[in-house]
Amino acid sequence: MATGKKTNQLPPPASRLWEAGIRKLKYSTILRGSVSSSTKSNTIYQYNDDDGDDTDSVLDDNDTDDDEEEVALGEPSHAEQLLPSGDFYQGDLRGELPHGAGKYLWTDGSMYEGSWRRGRASGRGKFSWPSGAIYEGDLDGGYMHGQGTYIGELGDTFAGLWANNLRHGRGTQAYDNGDVYDGHWRDGLQDGHGRYIWRGGHEYIGTWKAGEMHGRGTVIWADGDRYDGAWEDAKPKGQGTFRWSDGGMYIGLWCQECGETQARGVYYPPSGGPAVPVPREPKEEITKLLEELEMCEGKTASLLPSQKVVTWPGVDPVMKKPVWRPPEVGADQGRRHAVGRNSAPTSLDLKASAFDPKEKVWTRFPPEGSKNTPPHQSCDFRWKDYCPLVFRTLRKLFDVDPADYMISICGDDALLELSSPGKSGSFFYFTNDDKYMIKTMKKSEVKVLLRMLPAYYKHVRSFDNTLVTKFFGLHCVKITGAIQKKVRFVIMGNLFCSNYAIHRRFDLKGSSHGRTTDKPIDQIDETTTLKDLDLNFIFRLEGAWQVDKDCELLEQERIMDYSLLVGIHFKDQCKDIKAPVKLGISMPSRVESVVKNPDSESLFIGDPTGEFREVILFFGIIDILQDYDISKKLEHAYKSMQYDPNSISAVDPKQYCKRFRDFIYRAFTEDVQ
C-alpha cells in the first residue's frame, strides 16, 4: 500500500550512528569508596519559590559541610606542575589535589579549563579535543553532567542536559547533515516527547523510546501529507490517520506484515463524498519521495572523540544519578504513590477540615527506597498532596475509575509535552491516552485554587453540567538538599479528548484588545487557536446550558481572565461517529457563517449569511485560577491609559463576568429550526 510505503520509508534519524557508538561507551574506572563526593545535582526545575511552611527540609545523614571538607584537604596553593605521564596542570590546589580554578593539558592535545573539586572536574568548565570538538558547561565528578553545549568536529551540536557524559534530559541536537532533534533524552538516546526535523523538510512530533519513534506521534511530510497515530519501533502500528495535502484521508489500523507497513481501513475523498473501501495510490508522489529518502541513507554522525573523564591521576571519577525534570521521574513516582495509596471515598459529604489549606501530606522518596516508597533513579525528593481527600472525592464525583486513572497518570508511557509553554510560563503535558492534562503552576495559582476549593466542590457537586475546568489532583515535588527546588502542578481533564477530529478551535474572552491570531490565513490549521476577533461563526445549540451559574461562581471568587475554549468538528469532513453526549462534550449543533460588517459598531459577531454546517461542539471554561490581584489592577490602570478600558482583558471580575456572558450569548444562540 502506498501510504504504508511512505510511512515505512522515512529517512532514519541522523542520530542512529551517534546513538550506536555512545551506547557502547564503557568506563574503566568506578567509585571504589575511598573518595567521597559532594551531593550536588543539576536540575532544570522551573520554579524556585518556597512555601513559608515548608522549611523542614530533609538532608541525608552523611552530608558534610563544605568548609570542613576543604580544611581536611589541606592548605590552598597555586602550582604549575608537570606530571610523570607528561600531562601538565596549572591552577589551584588544596593539599595535593586540584581544587578551585585550573587548567589540565593531556599529552594527546586534549585540554580542560575550569572548576575543580577534590581532584575532579566539577562546576563550570570547557573541554576541548585535538579533533576540534568542544564541550562547555557543567561537570560533576569528572563527567559532563548538567547543562552544557557540545560542538563536534563536523559541526554537529548538542545544547541541553547531560548525565555522566551522556545526553540525558531536555536538549537540542543539530546534526552535521542538517537534521535537528529537540526534546527529551535518556541515557544518550531520544526518550520521551520530542520533535525531529529532517533536512528535507519532513518532521516527526511525538513520543520516543530508546532512540526510536514509539507511542503517539505525527509525521508531516514536506509536501503537506501527514500521518497521525501510534508508532512502535519507528513504524506505524495501531490506530492511525493518513491525510493527503488536498484533504483526502485514510483512517484505519496499521501493522507490520512481511517486513512492510500495511493498513486496513477506509479512504475518504477530499470532496467529502461517500467513503470507499480502497484508498487511492499516489504512486508518482511516493516514487519521488523514496528517491529523495534513498539519498539520506548514507549519512553519518560524529561520536564523542574519546571516552576521557577529567580527574587527577589516582582519583576515581564519580558517576552521578541523573535528575529528570518533573513531571518525569520524581513526579511519576509521586503520582503512583498518591493515586495508589488510598481507596476511593465512600461518601461525598466532606468536613470543613478537609478543605484546610494546611491539609497536606508530605512523603519522602529517597533513591534507595523506603518502607512506603519504591527505589528510583532520581535524586532525593519529597512529594506533597494538597487536600488529598477532597481530590479523591472529586475524582469519584466526576465518575473517574481509580484503576483507569492510575493507568493514565502513572502508566509506563511517556507524557506528551506541548511544544511551547503558555504565556504564564507554565508547561503543559498530556497523558498518553489524551484524557488528562498536567500543568505546572505558580505558587499564587496554588493559593487561589486552595482558597476557592470549598466553593468549587459545592458547585461541581450541585451542577452535573458545569463547564468549569475539572481538577483531579494538586501536587508538589520538592528536591531536598542544599539547593531546594519546587515544582507544583495540577491534573485536569482534557476537553478535546474524543474520537472526533477537532477542525477549528477558539479561545473566547469577550475582549477585543490583542484578541486575534498572529498567523497568516494560509498558515491557519486545526492546531491553531483562534480568538475573539477571528470568530466567523454563530453557534446554534440544541437546548439550554448554564453559563450564568458558572460565571456567578467565578465572580464570587474574584476570578477574571478566564476563557471559553471551543472545539469544532465539521461532520461533513468525516464519517459520523457515535459518542456519548454531555453539555460541552460531543454536542450536536449547527454553525452559521458570518461576515464582518465594516459599518457595524461591534468588532465581534458579524452579520449572518444563512450558510449552515452540521458540527459537533466541545467547549468549557478554562484558566480559572487568575484572581484580580495587585498585578492585574496595575495592568488595568496602565492599559486603560493607552486603550479603551472596555477592550482589555484585565478588568474587575464583575465587569469581566458581564462582558464575558454578553459575548457568549451573542455567539451561542438556541437553535429554533
Q: What are phi and psi of 660, to 5 degrees?
A: -60, -50
Residue 80's DSSP bridge partners are 90
Using CB atoms within 10 Å of the CB of residue 517, give its burial: 0 to 12 exposed, 13 to 18 middle, 19+ buried: middle
Q: 274: alpha, beta or left, given left = phi > 0 and alpha = psi -120 to 50?
A: beta
Q: Which residues does the chain have with pLDDT short of 70?
A: 1-73, 254, 256-265, 271-346, 365, 367-368, 370-380, 410-415, 417-425, 480-484, 542-545, 573-586, 596-606, 671-673
Count CA within 13 A, CB hemisphere, residue 523. 4
Of the candidates 617, 465, 618, which has an alpha carbon nearest to the alpha carbon of residue 549? Answer: 465
Contacts of 524 (CB under 8 A, 6+ apart): 517, 530
Q: Write down the pLDDT at residue 316.
A: 57
Strand extents, DSSP E, 155-309 = 157-163, 166-174, 180-186, 189-197, 203-209, 212-220, 226-232, 235-243, 249-257, 260-268
* Cα gap 670→249, rounded to integer Å: 33
Q: What percentage of the chain has pLDDT greater than the value 90? A: 15
pLDDT single digits (tens) 42-86: 322 233 334 444 433 333 333 334 444 455 567 788 888 888 888
Domains of the chain: 1-30+180-302 (2.20.110.10), 79-165+304-322 (2.20.110.10), 329-493 (3.30.800.10), 504-670 (3.30.810.10)
